[in-house]
Amino acid sequence: MDGEGEDGSKVIHVKFVTKLYPPFKAPVSSVVIPSNVTRLGLSSIVNSLLTLEKPEAFDFLIDGELIRMSLEQFLLAKGISAERTLEIEYIRAVAPRKEEKPSLHDDWVSAVDGSSPRFILTGCYDGLGRIWSSPGSCTHILEGHTGAISSVAFVNSQGGESVTVATASKDRTLRLFKVDTAESGDSTTRVRAYKILRGHKASVQSVVAEKHGNMVCSSSWDCTINLWNTDESESELSGEAVTTFIGHTQCVSSVVWPEEDVIYSCSWDHSVRRWDVPTGKDTLNLYCGKALNTVDVGGEGSALVAGGGSDPVLRVWDPRKPGTSAPVFQFSSHSSWISACKWHESSWFHLLSASYDGKIMLWDLRTAWPLSVIDTHKDKVLCADWWKGDSVVSGGADSNLRISSGISIS
């Protein structure tokens, strides 16, 4: 089986399989390839098998692990026999294929939310929130804050005609806006808040909405996490906190609300906590050792916690693992603080991270190397999010919102 190739290198019998749909489905037959091919070579072989009009980049998996070196090295490293016919699964490479036009802001873009497929919501250091329907076209400007906006969130993006959004600002308030999406036109509409949520004693760092949009949760420099009602009451413009979670000893930098009664938060006191919403108690306390800036929950069973902070390492914890707070994955290709990390909403393996080194990296849990690096930003990246499942939206200190699209995640 194992013979010598023409140029003296070994050859391997492989079979390419995929879960992709027809244009990318290669005929299932054994192919003999030299063992020293890399991912690029494999990709060109598959492309030649497929006879596509436009070449397509692929990523290759052997036994659930992405190939990131030459095939020979990989087999050696993993101790896989090269004598039987190898089954190589290929997927479309996770990399942005298109860079959309940047959307220029007046100041640093500090927050972005891409959870609605119709819009992109951004927050800016000039105190204005913006809603973009497509790259470069700002439809609404949310005004009212006297300080820089630190975080934005769609509260209710499902509503047909109006969308509710929440913004958090360094002026210690949160504001809720109702945006009428029916209006269309070239001119941008200025929207004022229908509700101002006061109660934090210091800058609000993060805001997140509950699934159904009834409540928002915010975290602040005053070490507290507040829950607020979003319902519109005619009588008063300002709202007060429904509950306050106290437990963190330093700035609570980020919160996520993945399920109805669970809130995850991370703080500069080096901990990630899980809060039980009905009781207000923290049920989990992961100690990290570094000040944390961002946290997200996702992955396998929406149970893995990813977080990053004051060092260039993106860490993934599995809180289901008993007795340990050591991260199960550590990705350390960045060179500066991590400002944002987000799980892909449908994939168990993919997540992105943004860093002050100006790069956004896409990660797959199945390999320790980044899948791709987006370094379109010229300064720190302050926020990033997935949009529509195949794009990455990010804002940074270069005052631009950048959208990298065409990322195929199966």
Partner 1 sequence: MTKKKSEAANEDQTRDTKKKSVSAVKSSQKEKPVLAKQVKSSKEEEDLLLDSATDSDYDGDSLSGSLNSDDFDSDVFDSEDDASQKETEGGDKDSSEDELELHGNEDSDDDDEGEQVDSENDEEDGSDEEREVAEESDSSEDEVAPRNTVGDVPLEWYKDEKHIGYDITGKKITKKEKQDKLDSFLANMDDSKNWRKIYDEYNDEEVELTKEESKLIRRMLKGEAPHADFDPYAPYVDWFKWDDAIHPLSSAPEPKRRFIPSKWEAKKVVKYVRAIRKGLIKFDKPEEEPNVYLLWGDDSASDQKSKHLTYIPPPKLKLPGHEESYNPSLEYIPTEEEKAAYELMYEEDRPKFIPKRFTSLRSIPAYENALKESFDRCLDLYLCPRVRKKRVGAHSIINIDPESLKPKLPSRKDLRPYPNSCYLEYKGHTGAVTSVSPDCSGQWIASGSADGSVRIWEVETGRCLKVWQFKEAVKCVAWNPLPDFPILAVAIGQDLVILNTELGTDEEQQKIEELLRLGTLPEQDEAVAAIVSWLPDETYGGIKIKHFKNISYVDWHPRGDYLSAVMSAGETRGVVIHQLSMHKTQRLPIKMRGLPVCTLFHPTHRGMFIIATKKNVRVFNLQKRELAIKKLETGLREISSMAIHPGGDNLIVGSKEGKMCWFDMDLSSKPYKTLKNHPKDITNVAFHRSYPLFASCSEDSTAYVFHGKVYSDLNENPLIVPLEILRGHSTSSNRGVLDCKFHPRQPWLFTAGADSVIKLYCH
Q: 66 vs 204, which CB is nearer to partner 1?
A: 204
H-run or E-run covering 263: strand 262-267
Which strand (E) or helix (H) includes residue 72?
A: helix 71-78
Cβ contact 337:293 at 8 Å: yes
- Please say which residue, 269 or 282, places its beta carbon nearer to partner 1: 269
Minimum CB separation of residue 289 from partner 1 in Å reads 7
CB of 237 to partner 1, least distance (A): 16
Alpha helices by DSSP H, listed for 224-332, are none
Nearer to partner 1, 82 or 109 (CB): 109
Least Å from the CB of residue 327 to partner 1: 17
- In the bound state with partner 1, the residue whose beta carbon lies nearer, of 39 and 248, is 248
Residue with Cβ nearer partner 1 (218 or 391): 218
**How far is the C-alpha of 403 from the C-alpha of 386, rounded, in Å?**
9
Q: Compute CA distances 278 → 168, 262, 347, whole Å.
A: 23, 9, 29
The Cα-based distances of 68 to 38, 87, 322 in angstroms read 8, 16, 32
Beta strands 109-113 and 120-124 are antiparallel
For the bound state, the minimum distance from the C-beta of residue 250 to partner 1, rounded and expressed in Å, comes to 6
| Strands 86-92 and 103-104, bridge-based pairing | unpaired
Least Å distance, CB 61 to partner 1, is 34
Least distance CB 199 / partner 1 (angstroms) = 11
Nearer to partner 1, 253 or 372 (CB): 253
> In Å, what is the CA distance from 41 to each residue of 47, 48, 80?
10, 11, 20
> CA quadruple 221, 227, 231, 233: dihedral positive or negative?
negative
Tokens of 181: 């999406």
User: What is the binding site for partner 1 (CB under 8 A)?
Assistant: 108, 110, 125, 148, 172, 201-203, 221, 250-251, 253, 268, 289-291, 293, 310-312, 336-337, 339, 356, 380, 382, 397
Say how far apart CA 110 and CA 400 lie, in whole Å: 10
Q: Which residue's CB is nearer to partner 1, number 59 or number 385? A: 385
Nearer Cβ to partner 1, position 92 or 145?
A: 145
* Closest CB 138 distance from partner 1, rounded Å: 22
Instruction: Report the distance separating Cα 231 and Cα 194, nearest Å.
Output: 10
Give Rg (Cα) of the chain. Answer: 23
Q: How far is the CB of 385 from partner 1 (least distance, A)?
A: 18
**Which CB, 298 or 312, lies closer to partner 1?**
312
| Cα 400 to Cα 19, 104, 131, 224, 396, distances in angstroms | 37, 5, 14, 31, 6
Shortest Å distance, C-beta 291 to partner 1:
6
